[in-house]
């Protein structure tokens, strides 16, 4: 059939089984928005800002496993998505961002609201396109979704000039496989099928020889839906499991082999285990600097097996003895069949002794309300069934440490980029994608203020999100570093009491509470959880409250302060 490019755009969304998009209209996408006017089967969520739309699409993708979709206009509309795109890129999140563009005849002429967004985003997208031939629009959209969801997922941007949206083209519907596809089409020559099979065999042999194995699980386990395989594998080889921040939920926190987070703010026993193991099995993890810290002292006595779908990650940050390139679900399935069933040994006993000797210890030197207690109570009252989004900083670390994540896709946070202002937008996306779960965004006051205007979106759609603000009237994590490493010189990290978050919530028509002591927490949370509507809860905590344990920058991960 013959339809306009804008109409074909909507038809392509239907091909991809897209039911929800996030965006903000403008002059360069008017034709697309006009086509969306009649698309009653596609829910469009109007956010307060294009960055919020991109974070919402990201949160939607993380919560559902589907591809998130963003539509914005050209120029500043497009550039406002850059932080959200970079956030998704660093954490391997599949989103497709559609940007409007000036007409093809105006490109390169510094036209009104023109910017080379494909040039701007080339380093932070898995791929991007500018559509110069209207006839190619459907195929480019199909390819964009395929690239976003295939192999190691990531963001793709498609820039669509106004004339392409208005050109009449021949459109023919195609049946599209919208499932996650684990294999990338390209691997370096070294990772041939035969070489991968040999590596798997070498890995199995190393596992069978090991007496003190540790599994280091990353976000790739959640992406590949390999959670059951990871549990079966750990139970067969009797290996304790530590998770990266992105790996939270990859292994159930109520499992006896679970050790918690590893790295800068990981548990002592996770860090001790990695430092003393004789075999480290990294699965879908990238050995970030926040995990590794001092490279030469990271797992110094261990043979390292690295399983990852992205060959570029293997050996990038840490020398790998046995590289295994492939989808972790498929690799684990093979390894489960190949490794020997082990019995608990002295290593397992040692891990249990470290757990008993070094539990997470809440601290509060001067305040009655402790953030650790707040998060623990939140877990108890939700029974771990909520989706927890976070901002970045102390709030993020307390959530990761004290909320127990027993299922994948229930912890949504900016890991690699560390984007303050991420959480509320992500919570909107998660709430739209998973209406069966209560969504809670844990924020510090500094992060929350960056994109608090998205409360307008929460109010507009009456989304039953609980916005938790841990208000220490400071940029808490930066202040913590200033206290520990800059002689307590608090340079521009005190925010003061100027903002009344309860009044801010009231301005948006959102119910709010303020908590000043631990004794108020349970009753307030019960009230909020009983409400099927947006709620903001401000918790007044002391600015001297800090995140422990902590590995100082540049130290080995077993050199811990707490």
Query: From residue 247, how far is each of 244, 320, 336 by CA, in Å?
Result: 5, 20, 20
8-state DSSP, 452: G
**H or E element in which residue 23 lies:** strand 20-24
Q: Which of 112, 211, 349, 361 is catalytic?
A: 112
Strands 127-130 and 156-161: parallel
Which long-range CB contacts under 8 A does 33-40 form with residues at least 24 apart? 33/71, 34/6, 35/4, 35/6, 35/7, 35/9, 35/10, 36/10, 36/71, 39/10, 39/13, 39/14
Which long-range CB contacts under 8 A does 489-496 form with residues at least 24 apart? 494/543, 495/445, 495/446, 495/449
508 phi and psi angles, rounded to 5 deg: -95, 5
HEC sequence for 354-416: HHHHCCCCCCCCCCCCCHHHHHHHHHHHHCCCCEEEECCCHHHHHHHHHCCCCCCCCEECCCC
Tell me how far apart the alpha carbons of residues 385 and 296 are, in angstroms, rounded to a whole number: 40
Q: Confirm whether 396 is a catalytic residue.
A: no
Pair 279, 303: CB distance under 8 Å: yes
Q: Confirm whether 50 is a catalytic residue.
A: yes
Q: Which of 15, 113, 143, 407 is catalytic?
A: 113
**H or E element in which residue 96 lies:** strand 95-101
3-state secondary structure of 484: helix
Q: Which of 7, 9, 22, 50 is catalytic?
A: 50
Q: Which neighbouring-strand residues pair with 387?
A: 439
Q: Confirm whether 162 is a catalytic residue.
A: yes
HEC sequence for 405-434: CCCCCCEECCCCCCCCCCHHHHHHHHHHHC
Q: Which of 24, 51, 90, 162 is catalytic?
A: 162
Q: How many CB atoms lie within 10 A of CB 184?
A: 16
Q: Which of 248, 259, 450, 477 is catalytic?
A: 477
Tell me how far apart the alpha carbons of residues 99 and 353 are, in angstroms, rounded to a whole number: 55
How does DSSP assign 252-264, residue by residue? Answer: -TTSTTEEEE-ST
Q: Confirm whether 482 is a catalytic residue.
A: no
Strands 2-4 and 168-170: antiparallel
**Which positions are annotated as active-site residues?**
50, 112-113, 162, 477
């Amino acid at each position: 059939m013959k339809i306009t490019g804008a109409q074909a755009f909507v038809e392509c969304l239907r091909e991809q089984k897209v039911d929800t998009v996030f965006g903000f209209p403008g002059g360069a996408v008017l034709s697309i928005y006009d086509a969306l006017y009649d698309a009653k089967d596609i829910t469009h969520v109007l956010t307060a800002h294009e960055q919020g739309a991109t974070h919402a699409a990201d949160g939607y993708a993380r919560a559902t496993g589907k591809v998130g979709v963003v539509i914005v206009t050209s120029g500043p509309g497009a550039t406002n998505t850059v932080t959200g795109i970079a956030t998704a890129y660093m954490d391997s999140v599949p989103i497709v961002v559609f940007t409007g563009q000036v007409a093809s005849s105006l490109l390169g002429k510094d036209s009104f609201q023109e910017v080379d967004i494909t040039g701007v985003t080339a380093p932070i997208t898995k791929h991007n396109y500018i559509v110069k031939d209207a006839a190619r629009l459907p195929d480019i959209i199909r390819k964009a979704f395929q690239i976003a969801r295939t192999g190691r997922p990531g963001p793709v941007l498609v820039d669509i000039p106004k004339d392409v949206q208005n050109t009449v083209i021949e459109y023919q519907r195609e049946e599209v496989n919208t499932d996650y596809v684990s294999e990338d089409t390209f691997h370096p020559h070294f990772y041939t099928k035969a070489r991968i099979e040999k590596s798997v065999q070498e890995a199995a042999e190393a596992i069978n020889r090991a007496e003190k194995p540790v599994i280091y699980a990353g976000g790739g386990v959640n992406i590949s839906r390999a959670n059951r395989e990871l549990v079966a594998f750990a139970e067969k080889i009797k290996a304790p499991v530590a998770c990266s921040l992105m790996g939270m939920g990859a292994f159930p926190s109520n499992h006896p082999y679970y050790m918690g987070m590893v790295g800068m703010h990981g548990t002592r026993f996770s860090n001790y285990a990695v430092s003393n193991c004789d075999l480290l099995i990294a699965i879908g993890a990238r050995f970030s600097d926040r995990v590794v810290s001092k490279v030469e002292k990271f797992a110094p006595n261990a043979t390292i097996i690295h399983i990852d779908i992205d060959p570029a990650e293997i050996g990038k940050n840490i020398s790998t003895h046995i590289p295994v390139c492939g989808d972790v679900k498929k690799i684990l399935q093979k390894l489960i069949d190949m490794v020997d069933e082990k019995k608990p040994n002295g290593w397992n006993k040692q891990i249990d002794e470290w757990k008993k000797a070094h539990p997470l210890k809440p601290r509060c030197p001067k305040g009655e309300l402790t953030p650790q207690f707040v998060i623990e109570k939140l877990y108890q009252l939700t029974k771990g069934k909520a989706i927890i989004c976070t901002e970045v900083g102390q709030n993020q670390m307390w959530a990761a440490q004290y909320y127990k994540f027993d299922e994948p896709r229930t912890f949504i946070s900016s890991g690699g980029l560390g984007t303050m202002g991420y959480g509320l937008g992500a919570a909107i996306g998660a709430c739209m994608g998973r209406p069966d779960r209560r969504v809670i965004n844990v924020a510090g006051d500094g992060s929350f203020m960056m994109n608090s205007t998205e409360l307008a979106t929460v109010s507009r759609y009456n989304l039953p999100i609980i916005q938790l603000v841990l208000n220490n009237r400071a940029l808490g994590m930066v202040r913590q570093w200033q206290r520990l490493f800059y002689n307590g010189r608090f340079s521009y990290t005190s925010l003061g009491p100027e903002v009344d978050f309860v009044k801010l919530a009231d301005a948006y028509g959102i119910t709010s509470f303020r908590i000043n002591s631990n004794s108020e927490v349970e009753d307030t949370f019960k009230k909020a959880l009983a409400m099927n509507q947006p709620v903001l809860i401000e918790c007044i905590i002391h600015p001297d409250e800090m995140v422990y344990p902590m590995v100082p920058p540049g130290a080995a991960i077993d050199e811990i302060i707490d």
